[in-house]
Copies of this chain bind each other. A is one copy, B any other.
Amino acid sequence: MTAMRYRHLFGKTLRKTPQDIKSGGLALLLRAGYIRPLGHGLYSCLPLGLKTAANIRSIIREEMEQVGGQEVSVPLVNPVEIWMRSGREERIHADMIRFSDRHDRRYVLSPSHEEAFVELVRHGLRSYRDFPALLYQFQRKYRDEERVRHGLLRLKEFEMKDAYSFHRSPSDLNNFFPKMFAAYQRIFARCGLDVLTAESGVGYMGGEKAYEFLLPSEIGDDVILQCPSCGYRANRDVAKGGKQYGKGLPQLMEEISTPGIQTIEELSAFLKLDRSLLMKSIVYRTPEGYVMAVVRGDYDISEEKLSSYLGKPLLGYAGPSELASLGLVPGYLSPLGAGDAVTVVVDDSVAGSVNLVAGGGKPDTHVGNCNFGRDFESGHVVDIAMVRHGDRCLQCGENLEELRAIELGNIFKLGDYYTRSMDLLFQEENGKVLYPHMGSYGIGIDRLLGAAAHHLRDDHGLVWPASIAPYRFFLMGIGKSESVRREVEQLYSSISRDTLIDDRSESPGVKFKDSELMGIPWRIVISTSSLEEGRAEIFDRRRLTKRLVPLADLRSAISALREEA
């Protein structure tokens, strides 16, 4: 941390934001001179933003080294071959940018770096003696996101700390995993953020367990289900909960004419029936055939649960021509008589309810009083629905609550998926040749910066903790007296390293406002009158409190604040 004069600082505060962003952390980062937009999903860092990000990186570095991490780096651009080896090349679609060079070699802009790290360790992890290994990097990623969001929260090009651990066995991975969990908790706490942890999706790649570190936030993309009683907490994608089943005696099936009615919303309104009395069927394309997912109309399908159950990725919804080739009619899909060309996976909410209305399998027709077991069957009855607010906690019976949050980091037991597919082997002590087990651990740096800005603020601007603030002290004088100027300059040269001195000829009010907007933790003010009293004022940005400190004690007061930070 070096000192700076505000006059020289590049990226002054702005009176209004350069974009059409009125409020929140993003507006403050723009107005306070931390970041600038460059394009859709692309941001640049100004000096203040860069310093804050650098402080975040330092904290992460310390905590990674603490658990044995060693810093490395791999290129953003990867040869496509390593992605083909892992099998992800054919599984990741619109999100990943591919290109060819002038010699027709093919590359990708990596959205993550599992493959490159497996290649990195290929010559380094050969014997059981080389384990465990934790390697991390700070590197750019690129994801061609469908939509970018809220400035720094979902960028196309973004920086991540990604880490990968390699272990001799699943139990070694299991033993290491809690250390990383604890390191992540320390990282976010040191950044001044109160995070929650929740179980999250492990996908179809044989991952075993994953956790997210989340900041509860109204601008978050993630929805968490949590139990207020026992503490169970999981991402909606994977949360488990007891669904309420509709009870009653099965009635006779009946055909219902539903001209032009194709969606659950329309059907519910048309029949004046609650959505919990309807059946929703969606057909997905997978690498090996089609899958029809059936849930009750009041639930959404969790593609994560479905994909994880199937052990394969979903490649999107089947289109009209694909449905036609399966003998299915869009808008009137139904598991009744769906045929063998499509695998039917039925959520237990459907299997456990009675007398549901399903698609009729032909245009303008639905069928009432459908009952699983009697009218249709499937060997795949499983939980594929997204649990909701009010569903029962399976651990304690209490009602689950929904919470919106920003995912700041995740930790993931990958198992041996990558080492096995990419053929990375090591020799055990007993001479056996085995695949190492991997964990992966990510934190988005820009997202962390954006989330912190949104949550560490008040009406006056940003409120950084000293641990990540670009400068700890904002130093200014009031009045034109030479003695004030001299005192301020002397103080600056003696404490300068983490200090921004405001040497402009602006009014005190302007300087107060700017220092508060920028979120510098402590403002030190020397005025003609305070100087006469032999004192300086220290303003605490977070508490919005002032105190007067004798000039003779100022340096020790500043040291004490640094210690506290």
Interfacial residues, chain A to chain B (CB-CB below 8 A): 2, 4, 7-12, 14, 18, 33, 36, 38-40, 42-47, 50-51, 54, 65, 68, 70-79, 81-82, 94, 97, 99, 101-103, 105, 107, 109, 116, 119-124, 129-130, 133, 135, 140, 142, 144, 146, 156-157
Contact = CB atoms under 8 A, between A and B. Distances in A.
Contacts of A122: 36
A79 B38 CA distance: 8
Contact of A75 (B7, B42, B99): B42
B77 A142 contact: yes
Nearest to A77: B157
Given A14-B123, A157-B76, A2 B65 contact: yes
A79 B157 CA distance: 12
Contact of A77 (B33, B42, B124): B42
This protein's copies in its complex: 2
B75 A144 contact: no
Given A72-B45, A102-B144, A10 B124 contact: yes
A135 B50 CA distance: 12
A71 B44 contact: no
Contacts of A146: 102
Given A36-B119, A50-B73, A101-B144, 6 more contacts: A2-B65, A44-B74, A46-B124, A75-B140, A77-B156, A94-B102
24 contacts: A2-B65, A10-B70, A10-B124, A10-B130, A10-B133, A14-B123, A33-B124, A36-B122, A38-B74, A38-B116, A39-B81, A39-B82, A40-B79, A40-B101, A42-B79, A44-B73, A44-B75, A45-B73, A46-B124, A47-B72, A47-B135, A76-B76, A76-B157, A102-B146
A107 B135 CA distance: 31
Contact of A97 (B4, B54, B99, B116): B99
A124 B40 contact: no
Contacts of A102: 94, 144, 146
A131 B442 CA distance: 40
A472 to B, nearest CB: 18
Contacts of A65: 2
A503 B123 CA distance: 21
Q: Which 5 A-B pairs have the closest CB atoms?
A: A39-B79, A44-B74, A47-B70, A75-B157, A42-B75
Contacts of A44: 72-75, 116, 119-120
A104 to B, nearest CB: 11
A116 B43 CA distance: 10
Contact of A101 (B10, B46, B81, B97): B97
Contacts of A2: 65
Output the residue of A72, A79, A102, A156 with the most chain B CB within 10 A: A72
